[in-house]
Amino acid sequence: MFLSNQVALVTGGASGIGRAMALLFAAEGAAVSVVDLDEDAGQAVVKELLDRGERAIFVHCDVTRADDCQQAVEQTVATFGGLDILLNNAGIIRRTTILDISEEEWDLVMAVNVKSVFLMSKCTIPVMVHSGGGAIVNTASGWGLVGGHNAVSYCASKGAVVNMTRAMALDHGPQNIRVNCICPGDTDTPMLRNEAQQLGLPDGQFLAEAAERPLQRMGRPEDIAQAALYLASDAASFVTGTALVVDGGGLAG
């Protein structure tokens, strides 16, 4: 198993890509801390892992609050004895132009998508330094590399995550901490289906358009989790500061 004796914390772990990461990382031998606001869904993920004989806990956490993030890290370390892998995956989207988004919505997108990466990393890196290193994988987006229509706050936030990843890789490489990000394309998650509602489009039409890429399908949460597994594992021991596009060829041309 790729992650034997490792401890991983995944934010947004109750559903979608985060849930897929939790299930895969546990299957590969890691103890997993599932961090989310949705207690019912998060506990359901943990129950699934425990029923499989794997190690997992749920931590209720608002990733935009420093105290919650510190408590999540401390509870993880207290339960499993360390923290080797941080998966900064929590995220939200608002499908608006800059003229239509409110200041409150802008601040919320930036808080969940960017500030959470700052807070969770700030709490986790000292633990990794103490233990001799670790890996951080941030979930960005293809729209962190190119622009997209009616998603200005999301594009801005994910662009920030991409460049934060590079800066953190420079700062913490000497401490044996690798920092990378994934840039998914459209992936079949509850958040993607919520985008259709925000735009007032039928699910079928929206999902069909999302599949218009060279591989002719949307991503699955498991596709993104596999990329995170690679970046977090020793298979990527010489990889840091990279933005790995996982989008079925959507940005290829």
Q: Residues with catalytic annotation?
A: 154
Q: Are residues 212 and 218 in contact, defined by beta-carbon separation less than 8 angstroms?
A: no
- Strand 31-36 with 56-60, pairing: parallel
Q: Are residues 13 and 38 in contact, defined by beta-carbon separation less than 8 angstroms?
A: no
Strands lying side by side in the sheet with 7-11: 56-60, 31-36, 7-11, 85-88, 134-139, 177-184, 243-246
Task: For tokens 């079925």, name the residue.
Answer: 248
Structure tokens at 240: 């840091």
Task: For tokens 């699934």, name the residue.
Answer: 48
Within 10 A of 115 (CB to CB), how many other CB atoms are there?
19
Burial of 186 (0-12, 13-18, 19+ CB in 10 A): buried
The Cα–Cα gap between 17 and 184 comes to: 10
